Amino acid sequence: MSPKYRQRGYMDSDRDRERPEKKPIHKREQIGPKTPNMPGKREVSRCASCALILPAGIDLQGRCPKCGFELHSCKQCAFFDTAARFECTQPITTRIPRKDIRNQCNFFSLRTTVERETSTSRPLDARQAFENLFRK
């Protein structure tokens, strides 16, 4: 006969004292915290006007291949900062009035950002993406 209640003190003498052994969980042994599976990173330069990813060897004296924005302008520069004096973090002596036209600044450096690489499989259009949600 198995006792109905398993609390301490109830029929202690009749209860079997043996407890089943816990089975060890066989997991891959790991030292330290688990490393997350993060996507890769890449450095890219984007057009300040249309956000097109610029190719690596593009001529900085030219224009954006998509929208025609001047690449050697303040808005494309790594030192462009609207909160700084003359909107530049470098020690320039005169203010450049138009930030979106070509200039001859000696401090110019193309702005690059670090982005995460995401999947490249994109649906052809919005309708195809919607249909993919309910595909069985």
Give DSSP secondary structure letters for 64-130: -TTT--BSSSGGGBTTB-TTSGGGBSS--SS--S-SSS----TT--B--EEEE-------SSHHHHH
What's residue 132's pLDDT?
Answer: 79
User: Is 92 inside any structural domain?
Assistant: yes
User: Is 59 inside any structural domain?
Assistant: yes
User: Is 99 inside any structural domain?
Assistant: yes
Q: Domain residues for 73? A: 40-115
User: Is 130 inside any structural domain?
Assistant: no
User: Is 100 inside any structural domain?
Assistant: yes
At 105-114, the pLDDT tens digits run: 888 888 888 8
User: Is 111 inside any structural domain?
Assistant: yes
At 74-104, the pLDDT tens digits run: 888 989 888 888 988 988 888 888 888 888 8
Identify the band that residue 27 occupies on the pLDDT scale cut at 50, 70 and 90. low
pLDDT at residue 134 greater than cutoff 70: yes
* Number of domains observed in the structure of the chain: 1
